[in-house]
Structure 1
Amino acid sequence: MIIFVKTITMKHFIIFLLLLPCLYLAQKENFTSVNRQIQWQKVYETSFSQNEILSIIKNSGKFTNIFTDNDSLTGSFSDLMADYKGAGSTTMGTTIYVQNSSINANFKIDFKEGKYRVTITNILLNELMDLGLGISNTKSPIENYTLKNGKDEFRKTFEQRDARIYNYTFTNFFDFSKYRKSEDNW
């Protein structure tokens, strides 16, 4: 009987060890870093055409510098606040730079039949801090807060908390099914 219990425990331990690398990669969400440049990328399923998404983007008022190509469009956005509460975090459990910074970035959307891929690059954090005598407004690359010095490795606080918050924010921001006009014909 004791041998049977040890076998099950060892089996679970081996499965855990095999899944550990997958758990580590999942913590970074949709972020990658190459040559100390962070980008976020996600693929969405959609029933919208490229022209419908372009119309949504232009009419939303949230995007600027929009250019279209055959199978893609590019642009930028600014003053997006990270939705840490929507991501399930609290004020005390969220780093200061996430709470007090708006996000400015460039994006590219590539289209294929029934889906689109969003890539966000050149992410700048616009830190807004009230210093008592006035508001400080400083723009810094996200890499200053998220990468270890001189390396393409993410800091643990980013992997464990901040990546989840930014992933939630970007995922919702580029989910164009939420921008659909209501069909209220009465």
Structure 2
Amino acid sequence: MKKIHIFLLFISISNFAQNNNNFSLENKSIEWSYVFELKPGENISLLKDNLILDFKNDNFGISKNQTISCSGISIYSRLPFNFNFRIESKDDKYRVVVSNIIFNDNLNFGNSTTTKLEMYALKNDSEIKQNGQNNKNLNCLNEYFLNIFKIKSPKSNW
């Protein structure tokens, strides 16, 4: 019985270590995607009230100069970044796909440069790095995206 518990613990730890927090690799580009469930009375049009999301049409938009701050993340993760997003809806769900995550480095003697997330987070352009630092960085981005794309209840004037 103890062997079974140890085996199950090992499997759960290995699955956790490989968790990329809703990030995947699509054509050598990192995308974040998540399916949210709509609660009764919610509508995805409420996402347009989020001022950091610049909708170009009903399903697509961009966001610029966003920042995250989590304990232990890399310096690049603290830089302002831009991203594209796409929203698809079906039944009582909506899926958000974030792509083209680009960090803006203006620390280079006043010269602004940009670097795609792939430069930091990919191993040999073919897989997402599986190490503690990369997992911290992606986990922080994951929490950020979950928070901004979750529909929030309208606030009362009271």
Residue of 34, 37, 42 corresponding to 1:42: 34
Shift of 1:174: 1.1
Q: Give 3-state SS (helix, strand or coil) of 1:165's partner.
A: helix
Flag the 1:102–1:155 CA change in 2: closer, same or farther, 3 A. farther
Shift of 1:65: 4.7
| Amino acid in structure 2 at the alignment position of 1:171 | L
Residue of 153, 158, 177 corresponding to 2:134: 158
Q: Distance in 1 between matches of 2:57 and 2:69?
A: 27
Q: Give me the TM-score of the superposition, normalised by structure 2.
A: 0.85
Q: Give 3-state SS (helix, strand or coil) of 1:67's partner.
A: coil
Q: Percent identity?
A: 23
CA shift digits 1:11-32 (9 cap, x unpaired): 3222123324422332x11100
Q: Distance in 2 between matches of 1:173 and 1:135?
A: 30
User: 4+ residue stretches of structure 1 with deviation over 6 A?
Assistant: none
Residue of 147, 151, 155 corresponding to 1:182: 155
Residue of 112, 117, 124 corresponding to 1:137: 112
- Equivalent residue for 1:66? 56
Flag the 1:152–1:11 CA change in 2: closer, same or farther, 3 A. closer
**Residues 39, 120 of structure 1: 8 Å contact kept:** yes
Q: How many residues align?
A: 155
| Amino acid in structure 2 at the alignment position of 1:95 | S
Q: Distance in 1 between matches of 2:89 and 2:144?
A: 21
CA shift digits 1:34-73 (9 cap, x unpaired): 33200000111223224x33xx41x4332225212xxxx1
Matched, 1:14 2:11: no
Flag the 1:61–1:18 CA change in 2: closer, same or farther, 3 A. closer
Q: Which runs of 5+ in 1 are unaligned?
A: 1-6
> Based on CA coordinates, which of the two structures has the bigger radius of gyration?
1
Q: Distance in 2 between matches of 1:34 and 1:49?
A: 29
Q: CA RMSD in A?
A: 2.1
